[in-house]
């Protein structure tokens, strides 16, 4: 896996409009792991693409009506089969963290990369997702030297009380072992 011009070579590229300039494009110093499934607990389908591109139809599911109008994105989605979708190039600010803080700094979107795993806080992640996540993290560490293995957090770590993803089934030790 290679990153060229802030894009992953092997990812499907689908540009989300939900992004903007980082205050400092050089300041990429945190990785945030999330999970998402649409509708909740269901996998496959194009609904995550639609959400991040503001195309989700509120009439298709009651939950879609609930989140209608939400403008969010992440840099990358890792699907259950391990395939990657990139919505925002890494030098731009994706809108994934919301109200958040890390080591005294607020607004983690400013200085972080957001990675979504297709999944839920109630289910284990797939082997392919772990393998692909480890490869992606390695590529990111090589490209953005201010990142480190110690600067990988869950959404729940930077928005405690408000967010619970990636949840108790995300195996941090397994990720760490894959990165060694």
Residues within window 7-46 making contact with Zn ion, judged by CB under 5 A: 34
Nearer Cβ to Zn ion (28/153): 153
- Which residues, listed in sequence order, are joined to residue 78 by a DSSP beta bridge? 84, 117
Member of 126, 165, 167, 170 binding Zn ion (CB under 5 A): 165
**Any contact of residue 79 with Zn ion (CB under 5 A)?**
no
The distance of closest approach from Cβ of residue 34 to Zn ion in the complex, given in angstroms and rounded to an integer, is 3
**Any contact of residue 155 with Zn ion (CB under 5 A)?**
yes
What is the DSSP code (8-state) at residue 22? Answer: -
Which region, judged by CB under 5 A, interacts with Zn ion, from 85-93, 123-131, 138-146, 150-158?
150-158
Question: Both tokens of residue 91?
Answer: 């030098």
Round to whole Å and give the CA distance between 79 and 114. Answer: 14
- Which residues, listed in sequence order, are joined to residue 77 by a DSSP beta bridge? 85, 116
Nearer Cβ to Zn ion (56/142): 56
Catalytic residue among 41, 60, 116, 135: 116
Q: Which SS3 state, helix, strand or coil, does residue 90 take? A: coil
The distance of closest approach from Cβ of residue 32 to Zn ion in the complex, given in angstroms and rounded to an integer, is 7
Burial class (CB in 10 A: 0-12, 13-18, 19+), 23: exposed
Nearer Cβ to Zn ion (9/155): 155
Cα dihedral across residues 93, 149, 98, 69: positive or negative: positive
Which residues sit at the interface with Zn ion, rule CB under 5 A?
A: 34, 155, 165
């Amino acid at each position: 896996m290679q990153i060229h011009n802030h894009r992953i070579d092997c990812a499907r590229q689908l540009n989300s409009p939900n992004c903007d300039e980082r205050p400092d494009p050089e300041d990429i110093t945190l990785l945030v792991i999330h999970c998402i499934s649409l509708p909740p607990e269901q996998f496959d389908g194009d609904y995550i693409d639609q959400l991040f591109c503001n195309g989700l139809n509120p009439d298709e599911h009651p939950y879609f009506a609930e989140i209608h109008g939400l403008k969010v994105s992440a840099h990358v989605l890792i699907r259950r089969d391990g395939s990657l979708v990139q919505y925002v190039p890494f030098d731009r600010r994706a809108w994934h963290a919301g109200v958040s803080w890390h080591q005294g700094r607020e607004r983690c979107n400013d200085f972080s990369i957001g990675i979504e795993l297709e999944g839920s806080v109630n289910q284990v992640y797939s082997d392919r997702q772990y393998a692909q996540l480890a490869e992606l993290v390695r590529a990111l560490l090589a490209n953005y030297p201010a990142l480190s293995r110690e600067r990988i957090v869950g959404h729940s770590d930077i928005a405690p009380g408000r967010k619970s993803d990636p949840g108790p089934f995300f195996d941090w030790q397994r990720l760490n072992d894959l990165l060694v």
